[in-house]
Structure 1
Amino acid sequence: MSEFFVLIAGGGTAGHLYPGLAVAEALVSLGKRRNEIHFFTSDREIDNKLLTAADFHFTPLDGNGLTRRSISSSIGAVILLIKSTIFACRYVRKSKPKVILALGGFAAVPGSVAGLLTGTPVVLHEQNSVPGTANKLISKWAKKSAVSYQSTELPRRMYTGNPVRKEITNLNLSDKSMHRSQLGIPEENKLIVITGGSLGSFKINKSILNALPDLKEIPNLTIYHIIGSRDWEEMGKVNIDVDIDYRAIEYEEEMPVVLNSADLIVSRAGGSITAEINLLGIPSILIPLPGAPGDHQTKNAESLAVDGRAVIIPDENCTGVRIAKEIKGIVLDEERLLNMGMPRHPKSGKNAAEKIATLLIEVAK
Structure 2
Amino acid sequence: MKIIVSGGGTGGHIYPALALIRTIKKEYPKTQFLYIGTEKGLEADIIRRENIPFETINITGFKRSLSLENLKTIFRFFKGVRDSKKLLKKFNPDAVVGTGGYVCGPVVYAAAKKRIPTIIHEQNSIPGLTNKFLSRYVDKVAVCFEQVREYFPESKVVLTGNPRASEVIGKKKMGVIQSFGLRDDLPIALIFGGSRGARPINEVVIKSLSQLSTKPYQVLYVTGESHYDEVRKEAELFGEFNNIVILPFIHNMQELLASVDVVIGRAGATSLAEITALGLPSILIPSPYVTNNHQEKNAEALVEKGAAYMLTEKELTSQRLIEAIDRILLDESERTNMGNASKKLGIQDASNRLFDVIKELTNNR
Taking structure 2 as the reference length, what is the TM-score of the superposition?
Answer: 0.83
- Counterpart of 1:98 in structure 2 is 94
**Letter of the aligned partner of 1:240 in structure 2?**
A
How far apart are the structure 1 equivalents of 2:61 and 2:139?
24
The number of residues matched between the two structures is 356
2:358 paired residue number: 360
Residues 193 and 226 of structure 1 are in contact (CA less than 8 Å); yes or no, is this contact kept in structure 2? no
Identity of aligned residues (%): 26
Residue 313 (structure 1) aligned with residue 308 (structure 2):
no
* Aligned twin of 1:211: 208
- Structure-1 residue corresponding to 2:184: 187
Cα 1:65–1:324 shift into 2, 3 Å: farther
| Shift in Å, 1:157 | 1.1
Query: How far does residue 332 in structure 1 lie from its aligned partner after superposition?
Result: 3.2
State which of 180, 192, 197 in structure 1 corresponds to 2:194. Answer: 197
**Which residue in the other structure is 2:269 paired with?**
271
Aligned to 2:13: 16
- Letter paired with 1:116: A
Q: Which runs of 5+ in 1 are unaligned?
A: none
Tell me, in whole angstroms, the C-alpha distance in 2 between the residues paired with 1:240 and 1:70.
46
Relative distance call for 1:322 and 1:171 in structure 2 (3 A) is same
- Alignment-mate amino acid for residue 148 of structure 2: T
Deviations 1:2-47 (A, max 9, x none): xx7111111222222222222212322442535x112223546753
Show structure 2 runs of 5+ residues with no match.
none
Distance 2:79 2:320 in 1: 46
| Distance in 1, Cα, partners of 2:78 & 2:232 | 41
Which amino acid is 1:208 matched to?
V
Q: Is the 8 A contact 2:191 2:219 kept in 1?
A: no
In the other structure, the counterpart of 2:139 is 143
**Is the Cα–Cα contact under 8 Å of residues 8 and 37 in structure 1 kept in the other structure?**
yes
Q: Is the 1:280–1:346 contact (alpha carbons within 8 Å) kept by the matching residues of 2?
A: no
CA distance in 2, matches of 1:19, 1:78: 27
- Spell out the pairing of 1:307-346 with structure 2 (5 A cutoff): 307-342=305-340
Partner of 1:168: 168
Question: Residue 109 of structure 1 corresponds to which residue in structure 2?
Answer: 105
With over 3 angstroms needed to count, the CA separation of the structure-2 counterparts of 1:179 and 1:233, relative to structure 1, is: closer
**d(CA) in 2 for partners of 1:44, 1:192:** 36
Cα 1:347–1:290, aligned 2, differ >3 Å: closer, same or farther? closer
Contact 2:194 2:266 in 1 (8 A): yes
* Contact kept? 1:283, 1:309, Cα under 8 Å: yes
Letter in 1 for 2:321: I
| Structure 2 contact 198–223 (Cα < 8 Å) conserved | no
2:3 equivalent among 2, 6, 11 = 6
For residues 302 and 324 of structure 1, the distance between their equivalents in structure 2, rounded to whole angstroms, comes to 20
Name the stretch that deviates more: 16-25 or 133-142: 16-25
Contact 2:144 2:160 in 1 (8 A): yes
Is contact 1:8-1:102 (8 Å) kept? yes
Equivalent of 2:235 in 234, 240, 248: 240
Amino acid at match of 2:143: V
Q: 1:236–1:250: 8 Å Cα contact kept in structure 2?
A: no
Q: Provide TM-score, normalisation by structure 1.
A: 0.83
Mapping of residues 42-81 of structure 1, within 5 Å: 42-43=38-39, 46-48=42-44, 50-52=46-48, 54-61=50-57, 64-68=60-64, 71=67, 81=77
Deviations 1:88-118 (A, max 9, x none): 3332232222211011122221321322344
Deviation, 1:134, is: 1.2
How far did 1:352 drift? 2.1
In structure 2, how many angstroms separate the alpha carbons of the residues matched to 1:347 and 1:66? 33
Post-superposition Cα deviations, 1:211-232, rounded to whole Å, max 9, x if no partner, equal 32332231442323142x5x34
Letter in 2 for 1:287: I
CA distance in 2, matches of 1:252, 1:233: 12
1:41 aligned residue: 37
Moved more, 121-130 or 189-198: 189-198
1:106-160, Cα deviation, whole Å (9 max, x unpaired): 2221321322344433211111222221110110100111122233221211222
Moved more, 127-136 or 294-303: 294-303
The offset of 1:60, in angstroms, is 4.8
The answer to whether the 8 A contact 1:21-1:165 is kept is no
Indicate the residue corresponding to 1:302 in structure 2: 300
In structure 2, the residue matched to 1:222 is 219
Q: CA deviation at 1:168?
A: 0.7
Task: Tell me how large the CA RMSD over aligned residues is.
Answer: 3.2
Change in 2 beyond 3 A, CA 1:248/1:113? farther
Supply the distance in 2 between the matched residues of 1:203 and 1:44 (Cα, whole angstroms).
28
Tell me whether 134-143 or 68-77 shows the greater mean CA deviation: 68-77
